[in-house]
Amino acid sequence: MVRLEAEGKVDILLRAQEDDQAAAGGAIEEEEQIQYPFFTEGTQELLQARVDIAQYSLARAKARIERAKRRHADPDEDPEAEADLVVKQAGEFVLECSEIGDDRPLSGCSFSRDASMLATSSWSGMIKVWSMPQITKVATLKGHTERATDVAFSPTDDCLATASADKTAKLWKPDGSLLTSFDGHLDRLARLAFHPSGKYLGTASFDKTWRLWDLNTGKELLLQEGHSRSVYGVSFHPDGSLAASCGLDAYARVWDLRSGRLFYTLKGHVKPS
């Protein structure tokens, strides 16, 4: 070292070492800046479902727009009078009946498509089906091992779906026969909803995802991430084209089922939505 310093080579070696370290650090920073798009390749079943949903929703959207145009062009149409009528009818509601549904709190209820049956879900894990308007219990659905968090009747068939804290959703006949169990969520389920076509089921879970299931095969078609905290609810547009999810991150998100894209994020809540 004394000889190198006497020859003036120490400074040269130190500068070379600093250059090497700077070059190495720059390469690391460059590697950290490179961001690759993250995606999971969809299945053929999901592709077919997207095509089916597009064909279903476009026809319904066309009919809805035509109805809206006719109402807009009708000189006798009075939106304010229609709103006043709705308010008046709501003010005339009276209690029809009251019934104790379970020993533990009820978490959800749903009418069948013809309103002849009502299903209720409970923290006891039981789902009960009642005849209407007699309010007579006709079936008790047993199968969940934890509390039931939601229940919904199909809009097209005589079947119903249930969600539970046991991380599963199930499809039943009204007589209590189990048709399908949907397994895959990593945490307890919250709400669920049928697609308007009656072919698909959406489930929201505390595992921060909502999922889309094929009712005919029982397969998971879509695992949708996007919320930073638990997803509490999911719902579908009447046309069937869009899905909306809400989470404990205080955001509601709207998804295009035909393309899989995030359509819109609804912001404004300051507490879990």
- For residue range 166-214, list pLDDT tens digits in order: 999 999 999 999 999 999 999 999 999 999 999 999 999 999 999 999 9
Does residue 231 contact residue 204 with C-beta atoms inside 8 Å?
yes
Q: What pLDDT does residue 33 have?
A: 56
The neighbouring-strand residues paired with 243 are 236, 255
Residue 28 has pLDDT above 50, yes or no: no
pLDDT digits (tens, 9 = 90+) for 141-172: 999 999 999 999 999 999 999 999 999 999 99
Model-level pTM? 0.81
CA gyration radius, the chain = 28
Sheet of strand 210-214, all strands in order from the earlier edge strand to the far edge: 189-194, 200-205, 210-214, 220-224
Lowest mean pLDDT segment, chosen from 11-15, 207-211, 268-272: 11-15
Does residue 230 contact residue 190 with C-beta atoms inside 8 Å?
yes
The Cα-based distances of 203 to 67, 145, 220, 272 in angstroms read: 31, 18, 10, 18
Residue 27 has pLDDT above 60, yes or no: no
What DSSP state is assigned to residue 186? Answer: S
Alpha helices in the chain, H assignment, sequence order: 2-6, 10-33, 44-73, 79-91
Residue 137 has pLDDT above 50, yes or no: yes
